[in-house]
Structure 1
Amino acid sequence: MTLFKYLCVLIFSIIATEIVAETVVLEAETHDTVQVNSRTKASGNQTVWLHQGDLVSYTFCLLRSTIVTVQNVRTSNDGQSDTLKVSVDGGIMPNNVVSFGKSDFGRMWNEFSSSGEIGAVTLEAGQHSITLEVISADSFGVELDVIEFNVDDDELTNNTFTCNLQCSFTPPTVTATPNLLNGKAIQKSTETLCSAETNVKIPVYNAEVQTYEISTNVPQFTNPQNLVVDEPDVCPDSPSVYMNIENVSTGSNVDVVTLSETAQYFINNMERGGLYIVVATFFLNGRKSGSIDADIGAEVTYELESLQAPASVRMIYSHKDGNSVTSAPVEFNGSKTKHSWTIPDFTWNEEGANALIMHVTSANRNHVIKSLKIERRNTVPDQVVEVHSSDVAKIEVIKKDFWWLSGDRMEVVYPGQDPITDAASIRIQFQISPTSAISEVFSLSQDGLAKLFNPSSDSIGNDFKTSVIIGQNNPDDYRPSAPIQRVEMVPGQLKMIITYQDSGKATISLSPTVQETKATISELDLKQNQGTTPFATLRSMYIETGYSDSDSITSDLSATERVLGGSWTEVAGTTFLLHRRCDSKTSTKSPDLKLTVTSTLPRAL
């Protein structure tokens, strides 16, 4: 490599890993022992009035070691200029704050000047203080408006910086089993503003894994209210109605009308036989984006206003196999002006446009379409089948009318009972002590997604996103999965033998205690390349610190990283802790989740 190319690569790598500085502010009036004046041009409409010898201190918090720059201090004055000394954690900044020296019979108090940069300092994670002391002032003093900081940490928010959000500044201790081949966890997460989305995706690799454990920890900051907060206004819209054409006349041709980004229609009157057609085209999300719309069936309803003459209506729709399907004709008349058709499951296509044609013949084709509605079919409630119940444990199988992995279902076998061949998930409840109630400790879905629950007396607040895909999966999928073909339950034990659709195998053994719920995954028979395919993938939700199910990941070989953002692309190790180091206003019962590789293939001597 030439020197020029080397320098280009070096510069590019520096730019690519540069942390974006966040600008945060401290309002001076938040100090609780100062005189506050009202000023309309102040950033918070208030200022702090200081005199010779006065000092004010403010506390701020950092989540990691970083550079903090005191970028600006805004002041006002009416009289001679004043000087303030600034110190951070007792260390004096190189520049002072000097107010402008102007007087206009008191009117200058509402005019503010900026100091410019005062200085920068490198600080560790934790709580810090900034102090401003008036070292020179006339008898009228000086008013302090706001202190502005630049902090090299793009995770920072005003809530964390002002210490309003409880956070732990001590890194968690993550240990590992010695003498194992190291693996890695890769960053595959995507940004979101929707708390209903599982956007954290961290696949875990180890080319020689034989046994591993997944265990829960109670987060350091919990909320007894079990808050579960969703923000439907920022979540992607997934309407059940794909399109609806209303109050449209068919007497003449209608050029293409766009109803939405995904739906259009037009109307064409034919020359022969009193025929007109309504052609609707629409796009649907499907399995590739974690949606069911392109696979689940639909209901089509066609309704006309009062008819002057009978009409014969046929519905024609495209099938994803490339063919078209035509319904039998339905006769409309003065007493029958509405009809509904059912579109079977696995008809629509997610790769391109879906088409539906209403083929209408009538002696009087000047109709008014009251409604042509295409909507997702209704689903029936989940069916729960109890396969085991005792004083201390309960095992239930959940059947769903429609499961996102198309027609895939898993077979659940419990000895002494008929196999359940169409299971979507398994739910296990357990009594962890003689004085506690039975509560949910584990669930496993057909797509390999498992949730472990901190032992609890109720299930309120259990709708969290922190989970793990147990099994080999494709992390590049929008919604990775390790489809399960069969689960064989072992009587008298919280143990299950898993067979995957790719013929791989694993055994899951549960050990719920008062302190944690632990799942041991052993007897692995992995069919895909272990070097290039993850054996598990950690999932969670993160919008910002303070609004997340998990906000950090730490391994036995790496420092704590934010689950989304920053410059990290992978972390090495054999133990990976997905955790929450700050309090959160959503999913407060979400556990911290630890994945620990406990054995790998023996090393060659």
Structure 2
Amino acid sequence: METWIQHLIILLTCFVSSEGVVFRMEAEKYAARRFHNHRENASGEKAVNFNKGQKLNFYFCLRDNAEVSVNQVVYSNDGGSDTFEVNLDGKLVLGNLKTPEQSNGGKHWNEFLYSGQVGPNMTLESGRHTITLDFKETDRHGLDVDFIEIEVNDKKLNREIFECAVYCIPEIKYDNGPIRDDMPSAIAERIVVPVNCPTDDNILIPVYHEDIKHFLITATLPKYRSFENHYTGKESFCSDDNSGILWSFSNLKIPWDKQTDSWSGFTTLKYQASNVSKNSYLTVTFQPIAKNDLAIDNTLKISFNEPKADIYVEMKYKKSDGSWSTPEGQYITPQNMDYLVSIPRNTWSDTQENQVEITILADPETLTGLDLDLLLYRRKEKRRREEVLFNDMNTRVAATNIYVGDETDNEKMVVKSGNIKGNVSNVSFISVYQKSQWSDSQHEILRIHQNGKLQLLPLPAHGFQGKMPFGTSVFLGANDPTKMPPKAPIDQITIIPEPLEMFLTYKDGSKATLLVKTDLDQTNVLVKDVQITRDPIQFPFATISSMWQFDGNADIDHVSTNGNVERHVMNGWKELYGTHFSFFRKCISNHNTLSPDVQLKLVNEEDLYLHL
């Protein structure tokens, strides 16, 4: 009999082998419920019964061409011998399997057999594929199928893409033009930084040039076509202020009996493994919340440290009226080890104890020794004060001051404009809004922050409803690449509305001019007359800042440069040379789906007139 470690409760398990990634595909996920049988020793305690003439199709997707093998077909039988065929995409027969003739009053149904590899290793094209089990001959009882395992020699392939929940388009490319000999190349480096929040930028690409004068930044919609607009801002989940923590448990090691948090001293956490299923339960009980804190949104963060396999986590909480919230859940994978849940204001009680219940669906042996952290915190309330600098109904320019309570951050800049009296001080960022040809409303296309961070958006497509999300950003100005996050503090910006120009003066004395233009499908910022006071060999003139968790959950997954040299953002390069760089996605992202692709292009004096 197989050990529990081979029978995980989750529907699909993946782990990285020495050659590639192995995915477990549960039969019950691909068959109607009426064919399901309860089998105690089956993975997930379910198997699916089939008879002669029936077929079971397993669907999967590849992000790129890859070598694939069917490592296992796991099945059981109690009765006469059965035969079934394993084929790929309805064409290639990988092998025929025959169950042994055995009968023991039904006990053999719980004794699962492993086929070993079926068929050869195959190189398959990107896209959708099907493994079919075709049941040729069976006795009247048929046979049970538990799961199959497929190995793919692509370590960047994750469960979401494999399950066809994320679609990647390998044909997406950017034509950056040929290698140019009439100007020195820039050097782009890749830096991967650790982050506490999964929506934080974890990829920095500083770009160096020995004598930069002019360059062009362009933002366009992604080349993939999607009508979805998944968007979650960092403010929805992440907090960098410990003063908002309600309770916290760190470095928990499963199992435990009872824990009291060291933060509040009054919150308790219990762990219990079910006796009748493979579920485990965490119950957090904490004191009534002060009335002044009831009207503040909260975030629950659950972090797992290097889980051995995929884990499904489900959470619900007790509301102030005594009812429980609708459970919501998420898979925890080696690529995505954090689970963040937004809890709305006025949820908790100020008179009774509050509770959170977390259910972990996984084999207890998989969980033993696993480390995890739990944290509940109030989201810091940030306030904004906006002052409109210019508005002619087509273009609006506004200066915004962000502050918390009555306190104002020290790092602010001054903004000057010929259209207002005097200067505007204590500015956190400037926004530019533009009216499109097919809309009466104005859409934000640019945001320039005091720390030098430039965010761009193209105008939305015709008929688009909602808010376009920012994504990949560019820090303009010399910044220290050894300090995170990047910062090139701006002291003053002078704005000329028509044509829209911004004259930047940095705190270190550097200067640059931004010329902003929008077309139907893109927003361009020409950065010209750059004067840098710091060593250009040590300090980049611009730094790309973006996020990648895994393909399908990223603001960027590929980089290319002159001559169409293309790289995955996380693999195969540390430095790229060129005069034209593109930062884009091939995989449709569940995070910031419509955030723009960004290009950076060096401009010499001879070509400058083309962009004025």
**TM-score normalised according to structure 2 size:** 0.64
Q: What secondary structure sits across from 1:407 in the alignment? A: coil
1:422 counterpart (405, 420, 426):
426
2:497 counterpart of 1:494? no
Q: Aligned partners of 1:76 and 1:523: how far apart in 2?
A: 74
CA drift of 1:451 comes to: 0.8
Letter in 2 for 1:37: H
CA drift of 1:148 comes to: 0.9
Q: Aligned partners of 2:37 and 2:245: how far apart in 1?
A: 54
Tell me the alpha carbon deviations over residues 291-313 of structure 1, each in whole angstroms, 9 at most, x when there is no partner. xxxxxxxxxxxxxxxxxxxxxxx
1:24-423 superposed matches below 5 A: 24-31=23-30, 36-41=35-40, 42-51=42-51, 55-89=55-89, 92=92, 97-118=97-118, 119-134=120-135, 140-176=141-177, 178-179=179-180, 180-192=183-195, 194-219=197-222, 220-224=224-228, 227-228=231-232, 235=238, 238-240=241-243, 381-401=383-403, 407-415=410-418, 417-423=421-427
1:414-563 superposed matches below 5 A: 414-415=417-418, 417-433=421-437, 435-456=439-460, 461-462=467-468, 464-557=470-563, 561-563=567-569
- 1:587 aligns with 592
Tell me the alpha carbon deviations over residues 471-491 of structure 1, each in whole angstroms, 9 at most, x when there is no partner. 222233221011122222224
**More displaced, 95-104 or 493-502?**
95-104
Letter in 2 for 1:162: E
Tell me the alpha carbon deviations over residues 330-357 of structure 1, each in whole angstroms, 9 at most, x when there is no partner. xxxxxxxxxxxxxxxxxxxxxxxxxxxx
CA drift of 1:236 comes to: 5.6
Letter in 2 for 1:127: R
Q: Alpha carbons of 1:548 and 1:380: their partners in 2 closer, same or farther (altered >3 Å)?
A: closer
Task: Give the unaligned 5+ runs of structure 2.
Answer: 1-16, 248-260, 265-377, 608-612
Q: Aligned partners of 1:184 and 1:30: how far apart in 2?
A: 48
Q: Aligned partners of 2:381 and 2:511: how far apart in 1?
A: 32
Letter in 2 for 1:595: L
Q: What secondary structure sits across from 2:60 in the alignment? A: strand
Q: Aligned partners of 1:573 and 1:65: how far apart in 2?
A: 27
Letter in 1 for 2:456: L
Q: Aligned partners of 1:463 and 1:585: how far apart in 2?
A: 12
Q: Aligned Cα RMSD in Å?
A: 3.9
Letter in 2 for 1:426: I
Tell me the alpha carbon deviations over residues 52-105 of structure 1, each in whole angstroms, 9 at most, x when there is no partner. 565544331111233323221111112355454434456757765454443223
**How many corresponding residue pairs?**
455
Q: Which has the larger radius of gyration?
A: 1
Q: Aligned partners of 2:542 and 2:408: how far apart in 1?
A: 18
Q: Alpha carbons of 1:61 and 1:226: their partners in 2 closer, same or farther (altered >3 Å)?
A: closer
- 1:596 aligns with 601
Task: Give the unaligned 5+ runs of structure 1.
Answer: 1-17, 245-257, 262-375
Q: Aligned partners of 1:432 and 1:181: how far apart in 2?
A: 37
Q: Aligned partners of 1:191 and 1:513: how far apart in 2?
A: 37
Tell me the alpha carbon deviations over residues 399-432 of structure 1, each in whole angstroms, 9 at most, x when there is no partner. 3447999734323221364233432211111113
- 1:353 aligns with none
Letter in 1 for 2:71: Q
Q: Alpha carbons of 1:502 and 1:231: their partners in 2 closer, same or farther (altered >3 Å)?
A: closer
Q: Alpha carbons of 1:230 and 1:205: their partners in 2 closer, same or farther (altered >3 Å)?
A: closer
Q: Aligned partners of 1:27 and 1:242: how far apart in 2?
A: 40
Q: Aligned partners of 1:121 and 1:51: how far apart in 2?
A: 29
- 2:253 aligns with none
Does the 8 A contact of 1:229 with 1:585 survive in 2? no
Does the 8 A contact of 2:63 with 2:167 survive in 1? no
**TM-score normalised according to structure 1 size:** 0.65
Q: Aligned partners of 2:220 and 2:466: how far apart in 1?
A: 18
CA drift of 1:463 comes to: 5.6
Q: Aligned partners of 1:450 and 1:391: how far apart in 2?
A: 23
Q: Alpha carbons of 1:458 and 1:113: their partners in 2 closer, same or farther (altered >3 Å)?
A: closer
CA drift of 1:392 comes to: 1.1
Letter in 2 for 1:599: N
Q: Alpha carbons of 1:20 and 1:552: their partners in 2 closer, same or farther (altered >3 Å)?
A: farther
CA drift of 1:455 comes to: 1.5
Q: Alpha carbons of 1:566 and 1:177: their partners in 2 closer, same or farther (altered >3 Å)?
A: closer
Does the 8 A contact of 2:386 with 2:399 survive in 1? yes
CA drift of 1:34 comes to: 11
- 1:23 aligns with 22
**More displaced, 91-100 or 443-452?**
91-100
Q: Alpha carbons of 1:192 and 1:242: their partners in 2 closer, same or farther (altered >3 Å)?
A: closer
Q: Alpha carbons of 1:100 and 1:522: their partners in 2 closer, same or farther (altered >3 Å)?
A: farther
Q: Alpha carbons of 1:231 and 1:392: their partners in 2 closer, same or farther (altered >3 Å)?
A: closer
- 1:345 aligns with none
**More displaced, 81-90 or 427-436?**
81-90
- 2:4 aligns with none
CA drift of 1:508 comes to: 1.1
CA drift of 1:443 comes to: 0.8
- 2:13 aligns with none
Does the 8 A contact of 1:165 with 1:582 survive in 2? yes
Does the 8 A contact of 2:229 with 2:594 survive in 1? no
Q: Aligned partners of 1:243 and 1:29: how far apart in 2?
A: 41
Q: Alpha carbons of 1:145 and 1:516: their partners in 2 closer, same or farther (altered >3 Å)?
A: same
Q: Alpha carbons of 1:459 and 1:223: their partners in 2 closer, same or farther (altered >3 Å)?
A: closer
- 2:277 aligns with none
Does the 8 A contact of 1:221 with 1:582 survive in 2? no
Q: Alpha carbons of 1:509 and 1:404: their partners in 2 closer, same or farther (altered >3 Å)?
A: farther
Q: Aligned partners of 2:411 and 2:127: how far apart in 1?
A: 49
Q: Aligned partners of 1:520 and 1:183: how far apart in 2?
A: 17
CA drift of 1:532 comes to: 3.8
